[in-house]
Structure 1
Amino acid sequence: MIHVQCFAHLKEQTGQDTITIEQSSLSVADLLAELSARFSIETDSLMVAINEEYASPEDIVSEGDRVALIPPVSGG
């Protein structure tokens, strides 16, 4: 299983602060596609971090990795 942490408005949209994916590994692109289908969230502007480092769509998420979804931020 892969556990994904959600921050900011993603917690509200998913109703969870941690999402569990029932797979042992998948690409970041596949992870985002699954989350989009499951929760109807827009994933185009999300950043994904694996083990506290930003990940690209082709990177692989494996069981035991620390995964975080990071929404865009704005401020002034």
Structure 2
Amino acid sequence: MARLVFMGRLEDVAGTGELAVEAGPVERILAALDPALAVELLGEKVRMALNGRLLTDMGGVVLGDGDELAFLPPVSGG
């Protein structure tokens, strides 16, 4: 199993802070999620980190057992 971790507003959209998923290609994993959540996760400004390292390209990423994929929304402050 792998974990998806949702930060900030994405946690609200997902309804949870993390989700256990079967390891495999990220495209397949996202396709199995609620479509509204998948759209949010693939937003232009959402960044992803695999096991703590920011990804610049999601193409061909395959999650293995024990991997963590975190979704990081844009941060605003004031």
- Note the C-alpha offset of 1:32: 7.1
CA contact (8 A) 2:2 2:64 kept: yes
Aligned to 1:10: 10
1:40 aligns with 2:36: yes
CA RMSD of aligned residues (A): 2.2
CA separation in 2, counterparts of 1:52 and 1:8? 16
Structure 2 stretches of 5 or more lacking a match? Answer: none
Distance 1:12 1:31, change over 3 A: farther
Normalised by the length of structure 2, the TM-score is 0.72
CA separation in 2, counterparts of 1:16 and 1:39? 16
CA separation in 2, counterparts of 1:7 and 1:57? 18
Aligned to 1:57: 58
- Note the C-alpha offset of 1:39: 5.2
1:70 partner letter:
L
Q: Which runs of 4+ in 1 moved over 4 A?
A: none
Bigger Cα displacement from structure 2, 50-59 vs 7-16: 50-59
Aligned to 2:23: 24
